[in-house]
Amino acid sequence: MTADLSTTAASLVAQAPDTAAPGARTAAGSLLAADVPSVVQSVDWLAIAPPTLTALAALVVLVADLFLPAHRKRLLGYATLTGLAAALAFLIPLRSGDRSTFCVTTGTQACSYTADHFTVVIQALVLGGAFLTVLLSLDDTRRLPAGEYWFLLLASASGAALLPASRDLATLVVALEVASLPAFALVGIKRGDRRSSEAALKFFLSSVVATAVMLLGVSFVYATTGTLHLTEIAARLDDVPPVLDTLAKTGVALTLVGFAFKTAAAPFHFWVPDTYVGAPLPIAAYLSVVGKAVGFSGLILVTVIAFPSHADVWGPALAVLAAITMTAGNVAALRQNATRARSAVRLLAWSSVAQAGYLLVPIAAAAYSSDEQIGSTVAYALMYAVVNLGAFAVAALVACTHPGNRLSDYRGLYATRPLAALALGFFLLCLAGLPPGIIGLFAKVTVFSAAVDAGLGWLAVVMAVNVVIALYYYLQWTAILFRAPDGAPERTGPDTAPPTSAPARRFRAPTPLTTAIVLTSAAGILLSGAPQTVLRFAAVNLF
């Protein structure tokens, strides 16, 4: 379904200069006069396989839900897993990164869909993240409407997979909306839970505002350049007529503001904590990794590919945004009360805001030096995806026995579940960037090195201070894990804990959750031994 959408969007775009561009300049107009060969674009089905397959799986699950009896609904989860695994498998033939499709048949040959290295890596991240989210949710969905849940998740994942491949603004916006709209529903899927609906509403409103602002910006850019293809925009923004210059600048700024909303960069981050806390835990994990990846890949595409000529505008802006974002996230995370309900998720939410700040640094650095800096963001995002999903997986495991999910519930986890505690400790230290989390350390080093290389010394220093602030709460949480378990487990929360804790004394960890924790820790340890696996993206040009 999504693929169809994108096809129509792409072909619309392809025809835009020819048919419906009253504001187009003479260059576009002259195309009209030329004899038009065939405007029908060829489709490379293999290149678009990953998002298409995900979208197909979504439809299959939705339809199958109608015919499956209630006790077989579990099969839907496994179908979802299979669909995502197949989509991931289709990335393997694409790894050479030289395919593109939906290209304009005349003139510039600009393409709307490109499966270059950047696309393949981000698609792997997004689909892998969705795969792990499914593992986290398999046990959680018994209380949720299963069919809708899997359908929405797959639909959102297909949009997220389409986004890094899109190379024109219309496809980009469509992909972004396909990724976001199901996410609103997923956040609010807990029927009858007031907090869940409130979170969904908050998320929806802020996201819709962001989309509106972005669309306005996109329309300004289109008005001044007469094209939607990113590469074309880059070429034409240079010689915008002086009258339209302000309009072009405004368009660039508004587009970026829209993406800043999506990436939850400060000051557009306020929706994050409430949304994460209100959403089902796996969806919070999904938003923190896949949702963020969507925002970032969009931001990278528009800044580096579409607006390189305005680097003097968005470079400093992003640098300041990065500094504010990481500081705001870390300071807020520092102030979390350990005994407040769901403080663990709240802390992870604020930490994800702070991490978004680090992710912005190389993009800002790209404005000052070269596009290769983007690789640092990609490498960091891969590391962050693995360890953050791992941390959420352990949080989901703890939530099985302590629905309150307070930080104080983690006290003495090592005594009851030594391996889970070790895994969480490892993930947190990776996020903090200290050995034994070697991959976290080197991912931070690449980000630092991008900043230093670009001459952004002040930003590097701000980030250094932030790393120290972040260590405080990450290490505090880690230290709690290894504390001796408290004699009185009900010391902190007599309100919710007692009814469930008694039967859960000998609680066996659900297999999917265990699998997710094992997968993420194995990946984390593997990457710590061979950081080159992800860091190589930091050293090459991905486009």
Partner 1 sequence: MTVIDISPSVMQFLLAFIVVAPLLGALAALLPAPPGLKGKNPDQAVLRHGVTVTGAVLVAAIVLATGFDHDHPAKMQATTDISWIPALDVRIHLGIDGISLPLLVLTALLTFLCALYSYFKLPAGPSPKAFVALVLVLESGTLATFAVLDLLLFFLAFEMVLIPMYFLIARWGGDQRQAAAWKFILYTLLGSVVMLLGLLLIGLKSGTFDMVALATDNGRGLTTSVQVIAVLAIGLGLAVKTPMWPLHSWLPDAHTAAPTVGSVLLAGVLLKMGTYGFVRILLPIAPDGMRTFAPYLAAFAVVGIVYGSLACLALARTGAKGDLKRLIAYSSVGHMGFVLLGIATMTPTGVNGALFANIAHGLITGLLFFLVGAVKDRYGTADLDTLAGATGAALYGRAPRLGALLAFAAIASLGLPGLAGFWGEMLTLFGAYSPAEGLSRPAFRTFMAVGAFGTLLTAAYMLIVVRRVCMGEHAPRSRLSPDDRAQQPPTGPQPPTGPQPPTSPQPPTGPEPSGTAGPEPSGTAGPRTATTPQLADIHPYEAAAWTPLAALTIVAGLWPAVLLGLTDPAVQQLLAGGKS
* String marking each residue 156-185 x if it binds partner 1 according to CB under 8 A: ------------------------------
Which residue lies nearer to partner 1 by CB, 63 or 461? 461
Stretch that binds partner 1, among 256-264, 314-322, 332-340, 527-535 (CB under 8 A): 527-535
Which residue lies nearer to partner 1 by CB, 240 or 470? 470
Question: What tokens were used for 296?
Answer: 């970032």
146-162 and 169-187 are packed helices; what angle lies between their axes, rounded to 10 degrees? 160
Task: Supply the minimum distance, in Å, between the C-beta of residue 112 and partner 1.
Answer: 31
* 485 part of the interface to partner 1, by CB under 8 A: no
Nearest in space to 2 (alpha carbons), one of 177, 167, 120:
177
Is the Cα dihedral 291, 294, 297, 302 positive or negative? Answer: negative
Task: Supply the minimum distance, in Å, between the C-beta of residue 297 and partner 1.
Answer: 20
Question: How large is the C-alpha radius of gyration of the chain?
Answer: 23
Between CA 324 and CA 353 the distance in angstroms is: 10
Between CA 373 and CA 366 the distance in angstroms is: 5
Q: Tell me whether the omega of the peptide bond preceding residue 494 falls within 30 degrees of 0, making it cis.
A: no
Alpha helices for 100-244 (secondary structure H): 117-137, 146-162, 169-187, 194-225, 230-237
Of residues 183 through 202, those in contact with partner 1 by CB under 8 A are: none
SS3 per-residue string spanning 176-208: HHHHHHHHHHHHCCCCCCHHHHHHHHHHHHHHH
* String marking each residue 451-470 x if it binds partner 1 according to CB under 8 A: -xx---x--xx--xx-xx--
Task: Supply the minimum distance, in Å, between the C-beta of residue 539 and partner 1.
Answer: 4
* 471 part of the interface to partner 1, by CB under 8 A: yes
Task: Supply the minimum distance, in Å, between the C-beta of residue 533 and partner 1.
Answer: 10
* 331 part of the interface to partner 1, by CB under 8 A: no
Which residue lies nearer to partner 1 by CB, 193 or 453? 453
Between CA 309 and CA 386 the distance in angstroms is: 34
Nearest in space to 16 (alpha carbons), one of 102, 77, 83:
102
Which residue lies nearer to partner 1 by CB, 34 or 479? 479
Report the largest interatomic distance among the alpha carbons of the chain, rounded to a whole angstrom. 84
How far is residue 158 CA from its own chain's centroid?
A: 13
Which residue lies nearer to partner 1 by CB, 295 or 362? 362
Which H or E run includes 101? strand 99-103
Which residue lies nearer to partner 1 by CB, 21 or 467? 467
Nearest in space to 102 (alpha carbons), one of 235, 2, 236, 12:
12
Which residue lies nearer to partner 1 by CB, 138 or 379? 379
Which residue lies nearer to partner 1 by CB, 92 or 484? 484
Between CA 236 and CA 233 the distance in angstroms is: 5
Task: Supply the minimum distance, in Å, between the C-beta of residue 70 and partner 1.
Answer: 45
Task: Supply the minimum distance, in Å, between the C-beta of residue 119 and partner 1.
Answer: 20
Task: Supply the minimum distance, in Å, between the C-beta of residue 61 and partner 1.
Answer: 39
Nearest in space to 409 (alpha carbons), one of 515, 483, 472, 470:
483
Of residues 424 through 453, those in contact with partner 1 by CB under 8 A are: 429, 434-436, 438, 441-442, 445-446, 448-449, 452-453
Task: Supply the minimum distance, in Å, between the C-beta of residue 534 and partner 1.
Answer: 9
Nearest in space to 452 (alpha carbons), one of 514, 387, 369, 535:
369
Which residue lies nearer to partner 1 by CB, 360 or 434? 434
Number of residues that bind partner 1 (CB under 8 A): 34
Cβ contact 349:338 at 8 Å? no
Among 484, 488, 503, 508, binds partner 1 (CB under 8 A): 484
Task: Supply the minimum distance, in Å, between the C-beta of residue 471 and partner 1.
Answer: 6
Which residue lies nearer to partner 1 by CB, 188 or 375? 375
Which residue lies nearer to partner 1 by CB, 105 or 416? 416
What does the binding site for partner 1 look like in residue numbers (CB under 8 A)? 379, 429, 434-436, 438, 441-442, 445-446, 448-449, 452-453, 457, 460-461, 464-465, 467-468, 471-472, 475, 479, 482, 484, 531-532, 535-539
